[in-house]
Structure 1
Amino acid sequence: MNMPDKMRAAQIVEYEKPYQLCERSVPQCGDNDLLVEVYAAGFCHSDLQVWNGQFPATLPMIPSHEPAGKIVQIGAKVQGSWKVGDRVGVLNYKNACGQCAGCRQHGRRAKRPDPRFCQNRIVAGFKYDGAFADYMLADPNTTVHLPDGVSFEQGAPLMCAGATVWGALRKLSPQVQAGDAVAIVGIGGLGQLGIQLAKALGYRTIAMDNREQGRQLALDLPDHLRPDLIMDSSAKDAEEKILEFTSGEGLAGIVVCTDSIPANAWCLQQLGNGGVMVPLGLPKDSWKFDSEAMVFHELTIKGSYVASAEEVESMLKVVAKHGISSHLTVLSFTEIPSLIERYQHASMKGRLVINMKG
């Protein structure tokens, strides 16, 4: 395939200023790389933090870490069953050094190199060029095949939002089992996927949000993926409803998809004995949890970064089997400069995705 020399891209030139559309050189596919033509790229809360300068990078930089597309070139030393034309999703961490402590620790357990904890990893869309471009380089170790039944637009958010909440749900086990009561708190892009995945895993599921838009997202899900209870977490009788739903025992597990410090502190209190909480937000200030509740009820708080490539592949099978999908607002490439404004608008719900071919 003859590749063009130039490509369209959107980049951050200055923090807290609109993305700028530009022309960049197509990246050169190295011996260990996959070159992916991007068909869809998502925008999530972390992208807002990147835009704010919370993760300092050398500018200009191409943002977005939720790509889906097709392989157009394969490096000479790439191993595996990759073919030109394969439909793929690309996770944002890549190029494990294989030598650092993180690589050694996790390499002993992983089937293939796992750059998530590599001290020298590249994190595309955060500190290095990401997916708001016609082409991007991918690491075959953190690239996954996209099932035929999953569109590029639906596949893109699964590379971060899906991978993040799937990883959190898997962290609930072995303490939390199918049939146990689990709450997903904060029903936005992560939470809406979290509800559906929790239902697919067999949990009795509560969707909690203090916003009407979030509760409506949960209500709009198809019957087989709709939560067993949808509730306003700020309501005066919220705790009473949780106890009623759990026969007075409290929740077995809770995944918190908001960085609100008070909300996280409240969520811990809703767990029953031996309960597990996985917080996913990244507040600027430290979390504050009740030590007495943790000790006397033997609660567990588990950190969860994002799922590995193997875990994402298992998630994609569940997504395809159960018809799990995100509520999407799909924009064209030329609308990227308006992304921040759209994302911060009060009416925004679900996920924003750029159709790079639109």
Structure 2
Amino acid sequence: MKAAVLFEAKTPLAIEEVEVSKPGPREVLIRTAAVGVCRSDLHFVDGAFPHPVPTVPGHEAAGVVEAVGSDVAHLRPGDHVITFFTAFCGACEMCVTGRPSLCIDPSTRRPAEAEPRLRLASGTALAPFLNLSAFAEMMLVHENACVAISKEMPLDRAALLGCAVITGAGAIFNDSRVRPGESVAVIGAGGIGLSAINAAKIAGAGQILALDPVPEKRALALRMGATHAIDPTVESVAKQVIALTDGGVHYAIEAVGRPATAELCWQILRRGGTATILGMIAPGQAVSLPGPTFLTGKKIQGSLLGSTRFPIDMPRLVQLYLDGKLDLDTMVAERIRLPEINQALDTLRQGTSVRSVIEFT
């Protein structure tokens, strides 16, 4: 099969012929239909987050099950599935307490002595990328790294659910539990931020403020449900938000991954408000908060994939799309083929577009 291989950080991906192993116990072979090009991929490609190489990046995908290994309980060939990169074991403390996105049990990985899931035609093993390696025509994953969905769902839109949407929407529905009439600010109107904005609208938030320096993204945010769109680079932006919301927002969502935007989340909260940090703040960077402000009852929390309960939440999000409530169509900036992956990564670096979606069929 064809796959986009990263041989070294800060170098272009190469389209290579890659061999995929047969499904082992509890593994599923998926023919990839579509995969989103996510900023998280760019962090690894550009070396901000280290990762073993060579590897096949990509982690926001949907496809059709081709074959299953032994002991697979809930999937069968022909199922349409969405993948997610935090494969969960279902038995550890995190899983049984309803936090499968935090599972790191090694039982979902192939044993060290087993042959690799992917390797180059030369025989060189490819390091697994976030349990998925989705920039490829096929994915071989643990059964708990994907969930079956309705076949009515378009797979190019379904792919977005695998990272951007479950992260942004989960921050609203799971981490914040926004109630009707409450106020929400979202910093960053990329795929994750737009998903949070749309989810806040679905949840009935009274005020939804989108903060992004790019005018085109602010316009998209208004289409997705924001009531206000603000340029965060203007002077005294925190005071502007506090004035608009009569004391600050109930919930602030950070979807950029920078210390300054995480600190801005804290600044624009009202007393007792909650800030949720979704962005990938690079190693070596730190967030600084004034000590006395903790006396205001504010809270700050991190989140991975919006604390999503994958088998429950993802089919529900699919239904929200099919019912016309969840807007995924606006998020797709372009549809491309695998050989155009490096151009899509360059577009991400420019920071002006939302999502490029690679289609394989």
- CA-CA distance at 1:56 after TM superposition: 3.3
- Structure 1 stretches lacking a partner, 5+ long: 1-6
1:313-347 deviations in whole A, cap 9, x for unaligned? 3333333331421233211112123332232135x
Asked if 1:343 is matched to 2:348, the reply is yes
- TM-score of the aligned structures, taking structure 2 as reference length: 0.85
2:171 equivalent among 168, 192, 205: 168
Asked if 1:301 is matched to 2:300, the reply is yes
Tell me the number of residue pairs that the alignment of Structure 1 and Structure 2 aligns.
335
CA contact (8 A) 2:173 2:199 kept: no
How many angstroms apart in 2 are the aligned matches of 1:203 and 1:126?
A: 36
1:73 aligned partner: 67
1:264 aligned partner: 262
One-letter identity of the residue aligned with 2:79: D
CA contact (8 A) 1:271 1:299 kept: yes
CA contact (8 A) 1:8 1:21 kept: yes
Q: Given the superposition, is the C-alpha separation of residues 192 and 257 from structure 1 closer, same or farther in structure 2, using an over 3 Å criterion?
A: same
How many angstroms apart in 2 are the aligned matches of 1:188 and 1:202?
A: 21
How many angstroms apart in 2 are the aligned matches of 1:30 and 1:88?
A: 18
How many angstroms apart in 2 are the aligned matches of 1:291 and 1:72?
A: 55
2:96 aligned partner: 108
One-letter identity of the residue aligned with 1:282: M
Q: Given the superposition, is the C-alpha separation of residues 342 and 73 from structure 1 closer, same or farther in structure 2, using an over 3 Å criterion?
A: same
- Structure 2 stretches lacking a partner, 5+ long: 111-126
2:203 aligned partner: 201
2:357 aligned partner: 353
One-letter identity of the residue aligned with 1:94: A
1:138 equivalent among 129, 138, 141: 141
Worse overlay, 139-148 or 121-130: 121-130
How many angstroms apart in 2 are the aligned matches of 1:263 and 1:21?
A: 36
CA contact (8 A) 1:277 1:301 kept: yes
One-letter identity of the residue aligned with 1:109: T
- CA-CA distance at 1:18 after TM superposition: 0.7
One-letter identity of the residue aligned with 1:294: F
CA contact (8 A) 1:217 1:349 kept: no
Q: Tell me the SS of whatever aligns to 2:204.
A: coil
Identity %: 25
One-letter identity of the residue aligned with 2:100: D
Q: Tell me the SS of whatever aligns to 1:94.
A: coil
- TM-score of the aligned structures, taking structure 1 as reference length: 0.85
CA contact (8 A) 2:34 2:360 kept: yes
Asked if 1:94 is matched to 2:87, the reply is yes
Q: Given the superposition, is the C-alpha separation of residues 171 and 128 from structure 1 closer, same or farther in structure 2, using an over 3 Å criterion?
A: closer
1:228 aligned partner: 227
Q: Given the superposition, is the C-alpha separation of residues 55 and 308 from structure 1 closer, same or farther in structure 2, using an over 3 Å criterion?
A: farther
How many angstroms apart in 2 are the aligned matches of 1:90 and 1:65?
A: 8
How many angstroms apart in 2 are the aligned matches of 1:336 and 1:126?
A: 16
- CA-CA distance at 1:148 after TM superposition: 4.1
2:339 aligned partner: 334
Q: 4+ residue stretches of structure 1 with deviation over 6 A?
A: none
Q: Residues 119-130 of structure 1 correspond to what in structure 2 (within 5 A)?
A: 119-120=105-106, 122=109, 126=129, 130=133
1:316 equivalent among 315, 318, 327: 318
1:2-21 deviations in whole A, cap 9, x for unaligned? xxxxx111111121111011
- CA-CA distance at 1:128 after TM superposition: 5.4
How many angstroms apart in 1 are the aligned matches of 2:290 and 2:172?
A: 22
Q: Tell me the SS of whatever aligns to 2:345.
A: helix
Supply the RMSD in Å over aligned alpha carbons: 2.4
CA contact (8 A) 2:20 2:140 kept: no
One-letter identity of the residue aligned with 1:308: R
One-letter identity of the residue aligned with 1:143: C
